[in-house]
Amino acid sequence: MATYREAKCKLCRREGAALYLKGERCYSSKCPFVQATGDKLPGSHKRRSSFAPGQHGQGRKKVSEYGLQLREKQKTKRIYGVQEGQFRQYYETADRMKGITGENMLSLLERRLDNVIYRMGIGASRAQARQLVNHAHFSVNGRTVNIPSYIVKAGDVIAVKENRKNTKYFEQIKTMKVGNMPKWLEFDPEKLEGKILALPVREDIDSQIAEHMIVELYSK
């Protein structure tokens, strides 16, 4: 999948679900996908923004089982911001691990460093978190890591590097209130430091993903 550089809201409409690609805006009434504008289509309970983009986005189409599986895969790739080659590797790695393949795959995606930075609240979106990692703002266990796909392990300590802590952006992070932190993570805003308490399991992951459909797609 090539890097998508157009309007992110179109991706939510294409997948028929909020993918939370634009940070805080996605959780507010300003989100085009869920906003209550009152601009309903005639004779429909759906709002214009809930349809897939394009001239024929409002048409009802019967989707095959393969089509549903493909859409679920595309949705998951877009949520985590990974391309097809990477995504396939996550599946193959998960398939070799003990346990349920789909759950293993989601756990690997959650353990990406860019996702961890996002989950800790340091990045407003996964895209912003990825950019922060690329710019080498963080260390893992004392060593600089600038690879967004780096997979963290239980016990790893992720911290903002000392020479970056006094920048305007991270000064703002120091004053933030820690929200709904996943139970497998902890983060201290004052120290700008977090820790991986445990590996994430399925009930820790709030993304609305039918991972079994992706496994079925790749298993064919």
CATH label of the domain that carries residue 175? 3.10.290.10
Residue 39 is predicted with a pLDDT of 42
d(CA 220, CA 217): 6
- % of the chain with per-residue pLDDT over 90: 67
Task: Judge whether 195 lies within some domain.
Answer: yes
Q: Where are the alpha helices (DSSP H) in the chain?
A: 8-15, 65-80, 84-96, 101-110, 113-119, 126-134, 168-174, 211-219
d(CA 158, CA 18): 28
Task: Judge whether 182 lies within some domain.
Answer: yes
Nearest C-alpha neighbor of 78 from the set 132, 26, 151: 26
Name the amino acid, one letter, at 40.
K
Residue 10 is predicted with a pLDDT of 59
Cα 197 to its chain centre, rounded Å, is 20
Residue 44 is predicted with a pLDDT of 45
Residue 43 is predicted with a pLDDT of 47
Task: Judge whether 132 lies within some domain.
Answer: yes
- Structural domain span for residue 165: 112-199
Task: Judge whether 163 lies within some domain.
Answer: yes
Residue 210 has pLDDT above 60, yes or no: yes
Task: Judge whether 141 lies within some domain.
Answer: yes
Question: Could you give the count of Cα atoms lying within 13 Å of 4 in the half-sphere of its Cβ?
Answer: 21
Radius of gyration of the chain, Cα coordinates, nearest whole angstrom: 19
Q: How far is CA 60 from CA 34, 51, 107, 131, in A?
A: 20, 10, 34, 38
Number of domains in the chain: 1
Task: Judge whether 11 lies within some domain.
Answer: no
Task: Give the pLDDT confidence of 28-68 residue by residue, as tens digits.
Answer: 555 554 554 444 434 444 444 555 555 555 655 678 999 99
Name the amino acid, one letter, at 79.
I
This prediction's pTM = 0.76
Task: Judge whether 214 lies within some domain.
Answer: no
Task: Give the pLDDT confidence of 169-190 residue by residue, as tens digits.
Answer: 999 999 988 778 999 999 999 9
Q: What mean pLDDT comes out for the span 97-118?
A: 98
d(CA 130, CA 63): 33
Task: Judge whether 15 lies within some domain.
Answer: no
Strands 143-144 and 185-188 come out as unpaired
- % of the chain with per-residue pLDDT over 70: 72
Residue 207 has pLDDT above 80, yes or no: yes
